[in-house]
């Protein structure tokens, strides 16, 4: 049996979304704001962790804050560029950094909260999430369009994989913290659905950006007040 493999789409042949200039300005500005939020989150989390001399929390906070800043910076630059080769390159980087944000968000939760209750579960989740992130980044870098369905499945699967350790997580994170974490997950998931239909309707991608920012804010509340 012959297996027909779909060739990788060359960079010059990749088609960018047909967003209007108004949409792109909103997309860019919204994630500039989100990037600023990322800087604030990084500073607050690291300072709070340092105050308690918690090395695990300091390192985890640095990774978490950096993931917010990097994702939203890449996204704002991507949306701010004119639709030429540089924008196509930034589109790839934009998709890759989504995995970094998911891994970065999980890091303080597993290493600061879950590790204290069950080190085995903490390192298992840490390995699963960052392992999937590495795989996802490779596939996105190769051809994010070709592996688009895989990427979306991976995003959602990574985001919700904490449920496999639900019992331990319930012990590790206070109920209110879990509520904020859940709200963030729901916001991101709604955003993913909106992203899926965004190509067919004007400004839906901009709405997706809003839900991403909401998801980041909700989960920051969980991490800052209930995890580190």
pLDDT digits (tens, 9 = 90+) for 194-209: 988 866 788 899 999 9
Question: Given a cut of 80, is residue 94 above it in pLDDT?
Answer: yes
Closest CA to 69 of 103, 33, 95: 33
What whole-number distance in Å separates Cα of residue 63 and Cα of residue 69? 10
Q: Name the DSSP letter for residue 174.
A: -
- Its pTM stands at 0.90
Report pLDDT for 89: 92
Question: Given a cut of 90, is residue 157 above it in pLDDT?
Answer: no
pLDDT tens figures, 95-148: 999 999 999 999 999 999 999 999 999 999 999 999 999 999 998 888 877 777
Per-residue CA distances from 194 to 32, 61, 200, 211, 228 (Å): 20, 29, 10, 9, 32
CB 217, CB 37: distance < 8 Å: yes
- Residues 6+ positions from 72 with CB-CB distance below 8 Å: 31, 32, 34, 35, 37, 38
Domains of the chain: 19-227 (1.20.1070)
Closest CA to 90 of 11, 201, 193: 11
CB 97, CB 144: distance < 8 Å: no
């Amino acid at each position: 049996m012959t297996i027909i493999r779909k060739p990788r789409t060359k960079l010059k042949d990749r088609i960018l979304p047909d967003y209007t200039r108004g949409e792109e300005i909103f997309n860019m500005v919204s994630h500039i704001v989100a990037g600023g939020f990322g800087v604030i989150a990084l500073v607050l989390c690291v300072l709070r962790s340092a105050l308690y001399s918690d090395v695990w929390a300091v390192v985890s906070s640095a990774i978490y804050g950096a993931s917010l800043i990097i994702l939203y910076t890449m996204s704002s630059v991507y949306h701010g560029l004119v639709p030429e080769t540089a924008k196509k390159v930034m589109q790839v980087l934009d998709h890759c950094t989504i995995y970094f944000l998911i891994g970065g968000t999980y890091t303080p939760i597993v290493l600061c909260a879950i590790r204290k209750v069950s080190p085995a579960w903490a390192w298992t989740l840490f390995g699963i999430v960052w392992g999937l992130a590495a795989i996802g980044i490779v596939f996105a870098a190769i051809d994010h369009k070709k592996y688009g369905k895989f990427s979306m499945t991976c995003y959602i699967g990574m985001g919700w994989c904490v449920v496999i350790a639900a019992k331990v997580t319930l012990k590790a994170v206070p109920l209110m913290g879990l509520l904020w974490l859940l709200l963030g997950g729901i916001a991101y998931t709604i955003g993913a659905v909106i992203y899926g239909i965004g190509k067919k309707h004007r400004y839906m991608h901009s709405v997706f950006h809003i839900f991403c920012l909401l998801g980041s804010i909700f989960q920051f509340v969980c991490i800052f007040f209930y995890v580190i």
